[in-house]
């Protein structure tokens, strides 16, 4: 049966170098029509001056185009790539004039800017600079998106106009902001009236087997080295120690005997070096290695910890250039075996501490949230309050920290620590929402400066210090520091507050990071939103569904 459709004319506006991008927009609008028009009764009709304008006279070309296609358009879709366009009598280009005319007439205006690689060099720097200036001017007037390639442009146009289609169908487009909190699912898509609890979050985001390969390799090296030389029983001579200290020079037994009498007369200050003790692997380290071997199914032979007759000086050798060490006496094989065992013990400890960090936080889940403005104008000073049981709230101080050994020897640098924290907790921009920073105006919010971890001691001769878990804690507090918590002891509830400076219309913004919760029994989160443009608070509830580790 014939069905009546409501047609909305969409003007495709762009400088000449973005003609191909306009074709892409046309294709995506046609796809939306084929998929949704019969259901919604809404049809988008793309127009482009290149094909839909006609010969005319009596005024300057841009004004003629304005009368022919701009004034009759219901929606303006503008795309900029590298060129700004040809100036008109009133504006820097025809595309800019069409955008401004659409805004003056109260039409929805959607603008898309190409975002090239950092090393991009424009053919015409002046033209490209004008595009940047326009982006700055439009920031407070319209929603605009950026795209890096053809696929990204298609995704953004499909997302924006599908959303606009259903808003037009329901008559929900309002001249005022329309704010709500939405969940973000595992695929990075927005879900209404629902939020997914990912549990446990750290196990989901990190790989528990991250150190397995390193430990297996260390085991393979240590087990492959079999000592072939018997242990030495020759008495220890100070002359040997002195010679070794001066460059590892080996002296003959005859020479040692000749020096025996002189050796006995050395001062008491040198006496400590006349004693050695056998090098043995500490029992705690043996237990750690055997535990990790059993956990990985590695068969350990009895001679794994055999160091032959390797000995070390009883006291540490003083040094101003680095950590003090004991001097070793033994064969090259014995010394190599000790090095391989040290490497194995370190690898086992890293694996054990890493898995311990994951296990200690196994009761922590996370919820990804966003705030959407589906209205027809921006919202300023948007304040969101989430209300949930205090027993479910997890703050940064309640997260079990990795050991200092894992931080200092495994993560090693501030950059790596920050990357791990961001990978677990941060929410990155997707085709469906912008990241939190896009909603901040730095002059209002103030600039949050990340910690600068100092890794060098005051004495340059002592070299670099290892990071520890206090450094990790500082970085963690910064990453989660945009949330503010208020406990209500009478009701047993906690209010979690977060603020957004400015939210463009028809746009969604992710929270600064995942909301952390204890356990998997949280059933719902209620929210309350206020903004400068809202007449009364917006209130609602999100139903929480659990997405456990074994479900993905």
Q: What is the pLDDT of residues 23-59, one digit of tens each?
A: 999 999 999 888 888 777 888 999 887 776 656 565 5
Write down which residue in 358, 392, 409 finishes a domain.
358
How far is it, in rounded angstroms, from Cα 135 to Cα 142? 10
- Nearest CA to 467 out of 452, 455, 483 is that of 455
Mean pLDDT of the chain: 83
Question: Does the pLDDT value for residue 465 go beyond 80?
Answer: no
Domain for residue 268, yes or no? no
Q: What is the pLDDT of residue 173?
A: 47
Q: Which residues pair with 466 in a beta bridge?
A: none
Residue 200 preceded by cis peptide, ω within 30: yes
Q: Which residues pair with 29 in a beta bridge?
A: none
> Same domain, yes or no, for 159 and 293?
no
How far is it, in rounded angstroms, from Cα 186 to Cα 180? 20
Neighbours of 198 (CB within 10 A): 22
> Same domain, yes or no, for 351 and 367?
no
> Same domain, yes or no, for 460 and 410?
yes
> Same domain, yes or no, for 473 and 325?
no
The SS3 assignment for 168 reads helix
Domain for residue 535, yes or no? yes
Domain for residue 39, yes or no? yes
How far is it, in rounded angstroms, from Cα 248 to Cα 232? 17
Write down which residue in 358, 374, 391 finishes a domain.
358
Range with lowest mean pLDDT among 207-221, 234-248, 472-486, 489-503:
234-248
How far is it, in rounded angstroms, from Cα 272 to Cα 453? 40
Contact 78, 143 (CB under 8 A): no
Q: What is the pLDDT of residue 347?
A: 96
Who's near 373: CB < 8 A, 6+ residues apart? 177, 178, 179, 379, 382, 503, 504, 505, 506, 507, 508
- Nearest CA to 176 out of 543, 540, 548, 538 is that of 538
How far is it, in rounded angstroms, from Cα 363 to Cα 135? 45
> Same domain, yes or no, for 428 and 446?
yes
Domain for residue 207, yes or no? no
How far is it, in rounded angstroms, from Cα 478 to Cα 45? 48
Domain for residue 241, yes or no? no
pLDDT in tens, 152-194: 999 899 888 888 887 776 654 445 788 999 999 988 889 988 9
| Encoded tokens for 105 | 């007439």
Question: Does the pLDDT value for residue 550 go beyond 50?
Answer: no
In degrees, rounded to 5, the angle at the alpha carbon of residue 40 between the alpha carbons of residues 36 and 46 is 60
- Nearest CA to 113 out of 11, 9, 14, 12 is that of 14
Contact 286, 300 (CB under 8 A): no
Domain for residue 381, yes or no? yes
Domain ranges, residue 337: 212-236+275-358
How far is it, in rounded angstroms, from Cα 20 to Cα 432? 23
Write down which residue in 358, 379, 404 finishes a domain.
358
The residue that leads in pLDDT, 410 or 321, is: 410
For range 359-386, the mean pLDDT: 91
The SS3 assignment for 381 reads strand
Contact 501, 444 (CB under 8 A): yes
> Same domain, yes or no, for 302 and 382?
no
Q: What is the pLDDT of residue 235?
A: 46
How far is it, in rounded angstroms, from Cα 45 to Cα 94? 21
Q: Strands, E, within 314-368: which ranges?
A: 328-329, 364-367
The residue that leads in pLDDT, 268 or 249, is: 249
Domain for residue 419, yes or no? yes
For range 237-244, the mean pLDDT: 49
Question: Does the pLDDT value for residue 242 go beyond 80?
Answer: no
What CATH number did the domain enclosing 116 receive? 3.40.50.450
Q: What is the pLDDT of residue 20?
A: 93
**Alpha-carbon Rg of the chain, whole angstroms?**
34
> Same domain, yes or no, for 314 and 329?
yes
Most confident range, picked from 126-140, 207-221, 307-321, 442-456? 207-221
Q: For the chain, what percent of residues have pLDDT higher than 90?
A: 50
The SS3 assignment for 17 reads helix
> Same domain, yes or no, for 499 and 535?
yes
pLDDT in tens, 476-517: 999 999 999 999 989 999 999 999 998 887 789 999 999 999
Q: What is the pLDDT of residue 552?
A: 38
For range 288-313, the mean pLDDT: 91
Domain for residue 85, yes or no? yes
Q: What is the pLDDT of residue 111?
A: 94
Q: What is the pLDDT of residue 452?
A: 82
Q: How many domains does the chain have?
A: 3
> Same domain, yes or no, for 350 and 227?
yes
Range with lowest mean pLDDT among 332-336, 368-372, 448-452, 512-516:
448-452
- Nearest CA to 494 out of 517, 466, 474, 519 is that of 517
* Alpha-carbon distance values, 368 to 9, 181, 240, 358 (Å): 36, 11, 66, 20
pLDDT in tens, 395-452: 999 999 999 999 999 998 899 999 999 999 999 888 788 899 988 887 777 777 888 8
For range 364-387, the mean pLDDT: 90
> Same domain, yes or no, for 313 and 442?
no
Q: What is the pLDDT of residue 39?
A: 75
> Same domain, yes or no, for 219 and 282?
yes
Alpha helices in 171-228 (DSSP H): 201-205, 212-224
Q: What is the pLDDT of residue 160?
A: 87
Question: Does the pLDDT value for residue 245 go beyond 50?
Answer: no
Question: Does the pLDDT value for residue 81 go beyond 90?
Answer: yes
Range with lowest mean pLDDT among 305-309, 439-443, 466-470:
439-443
- Nearest CA to 147 out of 430, 504, 428 is that of 430
How far is it, in rounded angstroms, from Cα 122 to Cα 119? 10
- End-to-end, the C-alpha distance of the chain in Å comes to 44
> Same domain, yes or no, for 18 and 149?
yes
Q: What's the 3-state SS for 35-88?
A: HHHHHHCEEEEEECHHHHCCCCCCCCHHHHHHHHHHCCCCEEEEEECCCCCCCC
pTM for the model: 0.63
């Amino acid at each position: 049966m014939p069905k009546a459709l409501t047609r909305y004319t969409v003007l495709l506006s762009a400088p000449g170098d973005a003609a191909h991008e306009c074709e892409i927009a046309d294709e995506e609008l046609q796809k939306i029509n084929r998929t949704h028009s019969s259901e919604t009764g809404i049809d988008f009709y793309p127009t482009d001056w290149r094909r839909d304008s006609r010969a005319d006279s009596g005024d300057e070309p841009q004004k003629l185009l304005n009368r022919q296609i701009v004034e009759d358009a219901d929606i303006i879709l503008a795309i900029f790539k590298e060129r700004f366009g040809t100036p008109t009598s009133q504006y820097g280009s025809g595309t800019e004039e069409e955008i401004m005319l659409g805004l003056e007439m109260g039409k929805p205006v959607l603008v898309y800017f190409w975002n090239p690689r950092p090393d991009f060099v424009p053919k015409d720097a002046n033209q490209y600079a004008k595009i940047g200036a326009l982006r700055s001017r439009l920031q407070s007037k319209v929603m605009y998106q950026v795209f890096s390639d053809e696929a990204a442009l298609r995704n953004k146009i499909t997302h924006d106009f599908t959303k606009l289609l259903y808003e037009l169908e329901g008559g929900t487009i309002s001249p005022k902001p329309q704010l709500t909190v939405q969940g973000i699912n595992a695929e990075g898509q927005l879900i209404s009236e629902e939020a997914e609890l990912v549990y446990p979050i750290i196990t989901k985001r990190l790989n528990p087997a991250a150190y397995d390969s390193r430990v297996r390799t260390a085991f393979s090296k240590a087990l492959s080295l079999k000592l072939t030389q018997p242990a030495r029983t020759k008495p220890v001579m100070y002359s040997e120690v002195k010679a070794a200290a001066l460059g590892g020079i080996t002296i003959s037994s005859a020479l040692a005997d000749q020096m025996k009498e002189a050796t006995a007369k050395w001062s008491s200050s040198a006496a400590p070096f006349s004693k050695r003790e056998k090098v043995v692997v500490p029992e705690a380290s043996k237990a750690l290695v055997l535990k990790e071997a059993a956990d990985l199914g590695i068969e350990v032979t009895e001679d794994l910890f055999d160091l032959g007759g390797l000995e070390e000086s009883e006291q540490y050798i003083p040094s101003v250039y680095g950590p003090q060490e004991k001097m070793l006496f033994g064969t090259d094989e014995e010394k190599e075996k000790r090095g391989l065992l040290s490497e194995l013990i370190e690898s086992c400890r890293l694996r054990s501490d890493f898995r311990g960090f994951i296990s200690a936080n196994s009761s922590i889940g996370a919820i990804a949230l966003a705030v959407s403005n589906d209205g027809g104008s921006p919202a300023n000073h948007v304040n969101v309050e989430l209300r949930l049981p205090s027993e479910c709230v997890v703050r940064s101080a309640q997260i079990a920290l990795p050991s200092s050994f894992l931080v200092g020897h495994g993560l090693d640098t501030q950059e790596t620590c920050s990357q791990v924290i961001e990978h677990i907790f941060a929410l990155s921009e997707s085709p469906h929402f912008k990241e939190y920073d896009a909603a901040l105006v730095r002059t209002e919010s103030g600039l949050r400066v990340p910690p600068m971890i100092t890794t060098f001691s005051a004495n340059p001769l002592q070299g670099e210090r290892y990071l520890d878990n206090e450094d990790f804690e500082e970085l963690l507090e910064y990453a989660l520091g945009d949330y503010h918590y208020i406990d209500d002891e009478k009701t047993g509830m906690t209010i979690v507050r977060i603020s957004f400076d400015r939210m463009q219309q028809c746009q969604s913004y992710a929270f600064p990071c995942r909301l952390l919760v204890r356990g998997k029994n949280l059933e719902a989160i209620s929210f309350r939103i206020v903004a400068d443009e809202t007449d009364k608070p917006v209130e609602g509830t999100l139903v929480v569904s659990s997405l456990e580790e074994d479900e993905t």
